[in-house]
Amino acid sequence: MSPAAADMLDPAHFANVLKPPLEAESLPAWCYTDPYFHRLEIERLFMKVWNFVGRDDLMPNPGDYLATDVASIPIILIRDKDGTARAFANSCRHRGTQLLTGEGNCKAIVCPYHGWAFDFDGALVSVPGMDETVGFDKDDHALIPLRLESWAGFLFVNFDAKAESLADYLGTLPNHIGSYNFPDMVTTRRKVWDVACNWKVYLENQRESYHVPIVHRESLGDQVATPLDQEGAWSGSLIPVEHTAGVMKDETTPFPPIKSLAGEALEGSHFLVLYPSTYFVATTDCFWWMEIKPRGPARIELVVGSGFPRETVARDDFESVVQRYYRRWDTSHKEDNDICELQQAGLTSPLALPGRLARRERGVNAVDRWIVERMLAA
Ligand code: FES
């Protein structure tokens, strides 16, 4: 059962989570189900740190936009007339209506309710029928801008004006995965799943290999991961593979390796979480990512995106061969989605208790530790 709201961040609830991994327990079950705890997570985690929101190449031209969200807070990403990507709150400055949905191209951001129109820099430029409103000044009603920074084609948004820079937040991550040459990668697909589980259930699943020989027995087979040093806003593992991790276990290597691979990237594939809720895999010939977007305490929207080198995408056989990769992702994610929904169903029981962790679940402890330390420090 959940503790009282005022008691929820009592450090005593989390003492066993903060022990060394092989002495630790998982989070209390109510952390995966309680609406108030979920609200605290949004305030103390998602609204304080850099959140990955999409790849830069999703909006190549002025006026291209993507209406997305961070933990269900709606935002607009849009390319302005000078080619700069910008981010705004997706709430009209009149009476709050969501301005844009989905993705596309527009000449201006026009509210579907009463027709207020905003320029790509957020300025309110057209306001029908407000001539008699006393003291109304368009300049006071621009869209609310959000901090947007990018690394290697990955776009990040931060709601906190006082937060560190994205470069400081990422820390040493670029040193580990820079040689995959992400700026040259083309986004080829984004598939959206609706999964009935808490966002941490999914993130923890991605960070442990204990379940792999059971849940992914037929599709991936076993994958033994070597933990990388956990540093700041990310943690992850290197999985030694002879060829790409992007296809099923019995497939051959369909595409050539990325030419720029060097150092660690020649030893294996990188499986990384970037907190709070993005998961990346970078392998010999491509990369894919997961946006684990909370939809309340017991549901997520899972976006699975993929990118390949420009040269690979230009191949005549790309569209037919890439289906092998899509089949791998669709199969393994369905397997993870199903097991995560079962875990959520069990965690919803008032009888559910925290559990101990195996050696191959150190990543679960890394995720839980980051969350607890941030929640208690805020
Ligand atoms: Fe947007 Fe009225 S709510 S114009």
Q: Which residues pair with 72 in a beta bridge?
A: none
User: What distance in angstroms lies between residue 375's CA and the mean position of ligand 1's atoms?
Assistant: 36
| Neighbour-count burial of 61, counting CB atoms closer than 10 A to its CB (0-12 exposed, 13-18 middle, 19+ buried) | exposed
Phi-psi region of 85 (alpha: psi -120 to 50; beta: other; left: phi over 0): beta
The chain-wide mean pLDDT, for the chain, equals 95
Beta pairing partners, 309? 185
**Mean per-residue pLDDT for 39-58?**
97
pLDDT of residue 269: 94
The answer to whether 70 and 50 are in contact (CB under 8 A) is no
The reported pLDDT for the residue numbered 243 is 83
Q: pLDDT tens digits for 180-212?
A: 999 999 999 999 999 999 999 999 999 998 999
* Location of structure tokens 């599709």: 219
Q: Which mutation among 88, 90, 91, 95 tests ligand 1's pocket best, with the greatest number of atoms within 8 A of CB?
A: 95
pLDDT band at 252 (very low <50, low <70, confident <90, very high): confident
Question: What is the pTM for the complete model shown?
Answer: 0.95
For helices 199-206 and 362-377, angle between their N-to-C axes, nearest 10 degrees: 140
**Which residue's CA is the nearest one to ligand 1's atom 2?**
114
What is the C-alpha to C-alpha distance for residues 4 and 11, in angstroms, rounded to an integer? Answer: 14
Q: Is the CB of 39 under 6 A from ligand 1?
A: no
Per-residue pLDDT, averaged over 333-355, amounts to 97
**Closest to 245 measured CA to CA, from 212, 291, 275:** 212
Binding site membership of 94 for ligand 1 (Cβ less than 6 Å): yes
**Does any ligand 1 atom lie closer than 6 A to the CB of residue 136?**
no
Of the candidates 295, 68, 76, the one whose C-alpha atom is nearest the C-alpha of residue 194 is: 295
Q: How confident is the model at residue 240 (pLDDT cuts 50, 70, 90)?
A: confident
Is the per-residue pLDDT at 230 higher than 70?
no
Mean pLDDT of 84-104: 98
